[in-house]
Amino acid sequence: MPEQSPFDLAEGDPFGPHTLPYGVFSTSDAPERRRLGVRYGRHVLDLSALPSALPAVVQPSHGALLTAPTLNPLLAAGRSVWQEVRAAVRTAVTAPEHRATVTPLLRPLDEVALHLPFEVADYVDFYSSEHHATNVGRIFRPNGAALPPNWKHLPIGYHGRSGTVVVTGTPVVRPNGQRKTPADAAPTFGPSARLDIEAEVGFVVGTPSSLHEPVGLDAFRNHVFGVCLVNDWSARDIQAWEYMPLGPFLGKSFATSVSAWITPLDAFDAARTAPPARDFPLLPYLDDAEVEPGGIDIRIEVAVNGERLSSPPFSAMYWTAAQQLAHMTVNGASLRTGDLFASGTVSGPEPDQLGCLLEITQGKGPYLQDGDEVTLTAWAPGPDGTRIGLGEVTGHVLPAPALTGSPQEAP
């Protein structure tokens, strides 16, 4: 059988010319040399080689952005550059006259190592699925209202730990910590017995903003470069004991996994959809009735050890990413290149649309076992019946570090 050309994509391949997500890769002959790449089908286009290979297609001023070892310089370059580079990449992979030149720049995906594609600046996690928030409220606070009184007036969030954001494939070590159930007389210290996942969609900030200058809903596209998949690993026993009154802390900060591919926001134009009807009038800075539809029809699939567990629909999110960004900056807080903000757990109304084990098992478990492997995948509808793939985010669970030394001996 003749070897298949990297340009001949399988029917329905979600990594066609409408997707073109960015990542960072290295090869075994030069493992230290990190390079930018764009996924095309089952191959990675070596972007670092593109400026010299196709000088007529790549603008000279973009050379330094494409030969950097992370996406950050490209992220910082701003929307018009993002559009120019994307157009150049699309020409490189689709124009027949460039095939001979581009072929040696395409590496089979299974021959490269993928790395965290950008330096994560600040990390924020929201709580924007009404279905998730209602379900979790009932489990964590059975005697109170499921949704707090502020929930439909602002997108609730918290600032997380950017230094522990890891790329897909990185093992996740079960955290040790302090926990106490209502039945316990005193807290104990040890490995989390309720390790969970949270299926989320992440947004990567490119263009920074100035201190004291809120980013309005209509400026969303000028600041957000692209979209990734996120698994916000959560230790429910540690979380449930520690979180009142300041919110998630050590129950979440040990690891957050992201996909290796950042898909440009423009790839989701055909998947834009109106968010659910609002139950209360919103303050002007959050009122999105007159702006472009802020929802995105991304369909996530959660699998544990290769078995499909659920299919959370991102289109059901109450708060949109544009509203989250507007809220995050309305107090004058500035954005930095590489900021990551995640949607919050994505859950839909149906039993097979829940984004975490806490909800799926109604708080009873079982949770993750050592050795379990969790994989999130997702796609969105693209133009003309095509699919936009988001890559995957995978991680397997390693046992907690042995308890030695003093913490567990605390009074």
Ligand X SMILES: O=C(O)/C=C/C(=O)CC(=O)CC(=O)O
Residue 177 CB, nearest approach to ligand X (Å) = 15
Q: Which residues does residue 203 pair with via DSSP β-bridges, in sequence order?
A: 227, 341
Q: Return the number of other C-beta atoms located less than 10 Å from residue 32's C-beta.
A: 6
**Region near ligand X per CB under 6 A, out of 29-37, 135-143, 299-307, 319-327:** 135-143
Tokens representing residue 241 in the block: 């004991």
**Residue 202 or 214 having the CB closest to ligand X:** 202
**Residue 105 or 357 having the CB closest to ligand X:** 357
Residues annotated in a binding site for substrate: 127, 141, 239, 243, 345
The one catalytic residue in 132, 212, 223, 327 is 132
**x/- track of binding to Ca ion for residues 214-233 (CB under 5 A):** ------------------x-
Q: Which of 7, 27, 134, 140 binds ligand X (CB under 6 A)?
A: 140
Residue 255 CB, nearest approach to Mg ion (Å) = 6
Q: Which residues does residue 377 pair with via DSSP β-bridges, in sequence order?
A: 301, 392
Site for Ca ion in 124-153 (CB under 5 A): 125
Active site annotation includes 132: yes
Q: Which of 122, 232, 237, 359 binds ligand X (CB under 6 A)?
A: 232
Phi, psi for residue 344 in degrees, rounded to 5: 95, 160
Q: Which of 9, 47, 136, 255 binds ligand X (CB under 6 A)?
A: 136
Which residue of the chain is nearest Ca ion when measured via CB? Answer: 232
Taking a C-beta distance cutoff of 8 angstroms, is the pair 215, 325 a contact? yes
Q: Using DSSP, how many helices (H) and how many strands (E) does the chain show? A: 10, 24
**Residue 150 or 406 having the CB closest to ligand X:** 150
Q: Does 248 engage in binding with ligand X (CB under 6 A)?
A: yes
Residues annotated in a binding site for Mg(2+): 232, 252, 256
Taking a C-beta distance cutoff of 8 angstroms, is the pair 53, 101 a contact? yes
Tokens representing residue 115 in the block: 């790395």
Instruction: Give residues with Cβ within 8 angstroms of 350, minimum separation 6.
Output: none
Residues annotated in a binding site for Ca(2+): 125, 198, 200, 232
Taking a C-beta distance cutoff of 8 angstroms, is the pair 233, 256 a contact? yes
Phi, psi for residue 227 in degrees, rounded to 5: -130, 140
Residue 329 CB, nearest approach to Mg ion (Å) = 22
Q: Does 46 engage in binding with Mg ion (CB under 5 A)?
A: no
| Amino acid symbol at 399 | P
Q: Which residue has the tokens 């999105």?
A: 288
Phi, psi for residue 409 in degrees, rounded to 5: -95, 5
**Residue 198 or 242 having the CB closest to Ca ion:** 198
Q: Does 174 engage in binding with Mg ion (CB under 5 A)?
A: no
404 CB-contact burial (10 Å; exposed 0-12 / middle 13-18 / buried 19+): exposed
**Residue 256 or 345 having the CB closest to Mg ion:** 256
**Region near ligand X per CB under 6 A, out of 23-31, 49-57, 58-66, 133-141:** 133-141
Residue 344 CB, nearest approach to ligand X (Å) = 3
* Omega prior to 366 cis, within 30 of 0: yes
**Residue 71 or 197 having the CB closest to Ca ion:** 197
Site for Mg ion in 218-257 (CB under 5 A): 232, 252, 256
CA distance 293 to 18: 20
CA distance 320 to 343: 8
CA distance 175 to 192: 6
Q: Which does 132 bind (CB under 5 to 8 A by kind): ligand X, Mg ion, Ca ion, none?
A: ligand X
User: Given the rule CB under 6 A, which residues bind ligand X?
Assistant: 125, 127, 132, 136-137, 140, 198, 232, 234, 243, 248, 252, 344-345
Residues assigned a catalytic role: 132
